Amino acid sequence: MTATLRLTEELIARPSVTPADEGCLDVIAGRLAAIGFHCERIDSGPAEFRVSNLWARRGTGQRPTLVWAGHTDVVPTGPLDAWASDPFVPSHRDGKLFGRGASDMKASLAAMVVACEEFIASNPNPAIDIAFLLTSDEEGPANDGTVIVCQELQRRGERLDWCIVGEPTSVERTGDMIKNGRRGTMSGKLTVKGIQGHIAYPHLAKNPIHLAAPALAELASTVWDLGNAFFPPTSWQVSNIHGGTGASNVIPGSVVIDFNFRFSTESTPEGLQQRVLDILQRHGLQAGADHELLWTIGGRPFLTAPGTLVDAVQAAIHTETGIETQLSTTGGTSDGRFIAQVCPQVIELGPPNATIHKIDEHVAVADIEPLKNIYRRVLDNLSQQVASR
């Protein structure tokens, strides 16, 4: 059993369902402190939802810095009797390691730590600083995790140059896909006001569903942008519509429509918000008088174009596996959206993601050691590049 596999199992055995960390960060901090990292806890949140955050740095802060980022928390298990084995007892079957968090993302965390241990053993005075930014609040609200640490680092003026987030990005084999960006997400809650009344006397009422329908039709057919070489076009989707009393003979007094944008770097939250308001107004829905609209920006898009970090990662993957990795910006959001606000180059790289959040989550044992080796080669590549300047 390799050091990476042992550490993966140790982390899986800790039932760290959001926001609980269950000592995962203590285990990791102990390993990092032993190789010269200064480890600092930046915990946040109310007592009933306390979030554990770790910021660890090795170096002076004056040199180019590579940050390893990730989360120790996992999603709930679902019904325990649906699992073939206890989700918090690491179990091996058919060359796979089963357990909640095996793929998302405790194998990545273990690979990061062991890669750094090996790298420092061979390079006690590397040309780069190395840091870790870890949280127990990625799978949950994400209000007191990575975003809080990033705000603190920004306040201090800490230098961050490159970041690798250990999200499970691969498809068939470790390294076949990395994320070099993510779309932004923004939700809206639109309340269209009407006048409730008897459905047999529509002249005495005002149906808000009828009022909203033409605007919804235009919103659904609007081309928001065309995307670009890295992103698909921005999409707008309705997720929920709530209206009516439940009776078949009552015109409702209001309708509430929940919708979401997944948007590319070709659009901004402010621009999309204004275009929505313009469409509503064009269909006779005036802000305040006829509707209320509340916005929530879940994250802005980020993109790391091919350059220093992407090149170093692609080279490491090819050397280790022979794979020509695919760059992608598909999928949901990640904590990369927060880190990208303080770090100019952010990518995500981890094991295959086919079983994440599922019953019997697992990772192929054969994918774990190559991931550690890729991480180690990235450290080598970046350090050598800086040293040769």
Residue of 138, 139, 167, 348 marked active site: 138
Clarify whether 360 is annotated catalytic: no
Residue of 43, 73, 158, 380 marked active site: 73
Alpha-carbon distance of 278 to 44, in angstroms, equals 39
- Contacts for 124 with CB less than 8 Å, ≥ 6 apart: none
Q: Do 253 and 195 form a contact (C-beta atoms < 8 A)?
A: yes
Clarify whether 258 is annotated catalytic: no
Alpha-carbon distance of 47 to 19, in angstroms, equals 11
* Closest of 276, 187, 269, 263 to residue 228, by C-alpha: 263
The residue behind tokens 């000592």 is 23
* C-alpha separations of 226 from 180, 216, 232, 234 in Å: 19, 20, 7, 7
The residue behind tokens 């600092």 is 40
Q: State how beta strands 345-348 and 162-165 pair.
A: parallel
Alpha-carbon distance of 144 to 73, in angstroms, equals 13
User: Which residues are catalytic, by number?
Assistant: 73, 138
